[in-house]
Amino acid sequence: MKAYIVEKLEDRKFESGIQEIDIPQISENEVLIKATYSSLNFKDALSSVGNPGVTKVFPHVTGIDVAGIIEETNSDNFKKGDRVLVTGYDMGMNTNGGHSEFVKVPASWVVKMPEGISEKEIMTYGTAGLTAALSVNELLNNGITSGEVLVTGATGGVGSITVSILSKLGFNVTAISGKENKIPFLKELGAKEVILRGDFDVENKRPMGKEQYDGVIDTVGGNILAEALKLIKYDGVATCCGLTSSHELPTNVFPFILRGVRLIGIDSVEAKIEKKEAAWKKIASDFKIETLENLTNEISLDEIKEAYEALLAGQAVGRYLVKFK
């Protein structure tokens, strides 16, 4: 079978590309999935260059998402022909991932595909869509069911899907992006207003700002999240799921103790399978967006390397979808 392999040549030197390798053999409580679609995420791009915070085992197959059909099973929970998907856990990190024609995983990682959505559609969402859905769910579950919501990193995978979902649900969405030429794209997804990152990510020593947003969905961390927290209305909610700006958070306690703001961390990797299943069902129904095609760049295995370069350079827009023959 074909797979996208990362090899370690020497210390801090890696090489990646398509190789022919053997189809893996499954053991007890494992399944073999014939891939139909996968996707690309920033974590995949980091793995492709040997980032030790993501991957330490080489040779290695990238791909933290996959959707397809059960080809073989050693689990009572699945039968041959079941439509399934896998996101998160260790897949694509130190366990071979979804960028191969056949994928072996523990059955406990596998979710049956919900009705009303195709493998192509669900991989357009992928881990990014799952993270977006988990983030939106936290707003809804904490009483933020309408009003003004700020989305940071809005042209990225998580951000663009989040803008689309929130718009469908009737929120007024303000998007932050560093890509001025993508303002029309964000408006098409449903953003009412777009703020350029350079106008928002500024040094501001004021401990609080004017109350503007009922909720914030942050995908970048750092000073942008710190500034957003200052602008949340009383009893508002912020979620955070990313660190492309910074892993540090230079903030103060005033938003939390004077306005009762709640900051909720989002993890889509080790989230309980029941939580993932509930989010995927929402994605196939209430959260299903009509602008999906606008978010998608469909590529083949052979085009992954070029897409990784775009992701690492911060030039990617929307979602990269990997189609298998």
Q: How confident is the model at residue 325, as a pLDDT?
A: 79
Residue 42 clears pLDDT 90, i.e. is over it: no
The beta-strand segments (E) located in the chain are: 2-10, 13-20, 30-40, 60-61, 65-73, 83-87, 102-106, 111-112, 148-151, 172-177, 193-196, 213-218, 232-240, 262-265, 296-299, 319-323
> The tokens 């709640």 sit on which residue?
262
Q: How confident is the model at residue 135, as a pLDDT?
A: 97
Which residues make Cβ contacts (< 8 Å) with residue 171, sequence separation at least 6?
146, 147, 148, 149, 215
- In three-state secondary structure terms, 174 is strand
Dihedral of the CA atoms 184, 188, 193, 199 (nearest 10)?
-40
pLDDT digits (tens, 9 = 90+) for 123-154: 988 888 999 999 999 999 999 999 999 999 99
pLDDT digits (tens, 9 = 90+) for 240-262: 999 989 999 999 999 999 999 99
Q: Alpha-carbon distance 324 to 284, whole Å?
A: 22
Which residues make Cβ contacts (< 8 Å) with residue 10, sequence separation at least 6?
none
Architecture of domain 2-113+291-323: Alpha-Beta Complex (3.90)
Neighbours of 202 (CB within 10 A): 10
- Taking the domains of the chain in order of start, what are their residue ranges? 2-113+291-323, 127-265
- In three-state secondary structure terms, 47 is helix
Residue 322 clears pLDDT 80, i.e. is over it: yes
Q: Kindly indicate the confidence band of residue 313, based on its pLDDT and cuts at 50, 70 and 90.
A: confident
Residue 12 clears pLDDT 90, i.e. is over it: no
Domain 127-265 CATH (choose: 3.40.50.300, 3.40.190.10, 3.40.50.720, 1.10.3720.10)? 3.40.50.720
